[in-house]
Amino acid sequence: MGISNTHLFLSLVQIFILCLLCFMAKVEASNQKLSGFYVFGDSTVDPGNNNYIKTPFRSNFPPYGRDFSNQVPTGRFTNGRLATDYIASYVGLKKDVLPPYLDPNLRIEELMTGVSFASAGSGFDPLTPSMTNVIPIEKQLEYLRECRKRLEDALGKRRIENHVKNAVFFLSAGTNDFVLNYFAIPARRKSYSILAYQQFLIQHVREFIQDLLAEGARKIAISGVPPMGCLPFMITLNSPNAFFQRDCIDKYSSIARDYNLLLQHELHAMQLQLNMSTPDAKIYYVDIYKPIADMIQMRKRFGFDEVDSGCCGSGYIEASILCNKLSNVCVDPSKYVFWDSIHPTEKTYHNIFLASLSTIDFIVNN
């Protein structure tokens, strides 16, 4: 190769490298449209806040976390990561997992990119978290305000105001209000019909969203509830023969469908009002019912063998302290939709994340 050809070749290589670097920079920038990701709710999104409060509703012991990095039980009620961990990693916040807010070792950088305030066992009904002494949704909101104050003190009020506007705030709760509260104990059933109770919960959702808007939030996502009649725990308690008839109990799943529909109508109505008063504010509904129902109904397509019992113990009743280091554990959790009798496996959470990608992309880019 002649000298001129060599120079031409080297120039082309340099141009290619520069183009590649520009492309990579654009990709990285496109994945960092969110300033932060802040999560509220129950065990579906609690990465370990309950480790730091006095409650029996914990999971910071084996076999929980057995497929997490270094097999460390983090306080997540599953064998590995949650859907919110996958989301935090996907949207370019430079973190593979979303940490619990109550972790005393969190740095300002962690608070800035996102944390979870969620508490396993919590719900919208104030009675629900009081049953297991966990963190109410209202208290989780107080933690957000505390977190914001810490950020303002470190980085300045104006910068954090802009940061909040470009962050996503996600809420996942409601299942405990039905499963551990309304269906399990008589107190609320004496005062509310199922429709009245659903409306009672949605009123709390409305108030929570209004509080977030008052804090400056402009991207708010709310998930519905899963097919509750398909939770192994619910099948065990309500099947005419818990050992041999382990089909989903549609009575309870239909209540979940009705609640999700009411919730969607409420969120739509709130969005219409916001379009007039606060046009830059957006509220999104995240469906978790259909992804889980699909995994159960089309188990083989998703690679599952077991859909009506959990991987831990008998899989019929165990959760939290009943799923412990003395429990038998299935060989391959990826063949199970549920890790314990209530909570999904890491694979199920990953599938929920994949099913929600179009919604996540829309939230990020809208």
In this structure, which amino acid lies at residue 305? D
Pick the catalytic residue: 35, 42, 43, 253?
A: 43
Cα atoms in the Cβ-side hemisphere of radius 13 Å centred on 311? 28
Closest C-alpha among 120, 125, 111, 223 to residue 167: 111
> In 215-284, which ranges are continuous DSSP H helix?
232-238, 250-277
| Reported confidence tier of residue 15, pLDDT bands at 50, 70, 90 | low
**pLDDT at residue 23 greater than cutoff 80:** no
Measured CA to CA in angstroms, residue 166 lies from 193, 261, 365 at distances of: 40, 28, 11
Closest C-alpha among 241, 255, 225 to residue 308: 241
**CA-based torsion, 234, 228, 206, 42: positive or negative:** positive
Structure tokens at 252: 């309870």
Collapsing DSSP to helix, strand or coil, 44 comes out as coil
pLDDT in tens, 124-156: 999 999 999 999 999 999 999 999 999 999 999
Alpha-carbon distance of 99 to 46, in angstroms, equals 9
- Summarize the confidence of residues 50-68 as an average pLDDT: 97
Closest C-alpha among 147, 165, 137, 152 to residue 42: 137
Name the residue with higher pLDDT: 123 or 13: 123
- Domains and their CATH numbers in the chain: 34-365 (3.40.50.1110)
Structure tokens at 140: 């989780």
Q: Which of 23-27, 87-91, 110-114, 277-281 has the lowest mean pLDDT?
A: 23-27
Pick the catalytic residue: 85, 125, 308, 340?
A: 340
**pLDDT at residue 317 greater than cutoff 60:** yes
Pick the catalytic residue: 119, 343, 350, 356?
A: 343
Does residue 343 have an active-site annotation? yes
Alpha-carbon distance of 177 to 182, in angstroms, equals 6
| Reported confidence tier of residue 52, pLDDT bands at 50, 70, 90 | very high
Closest C-alpha among 252, 258, 262, 255 to residue 285: 262
Cβ atoms of residues 123 and 177 within 8 Å: yes
| Reported confidence tier of residue 19, pLDDT bands at 50, 70, 90 | very low
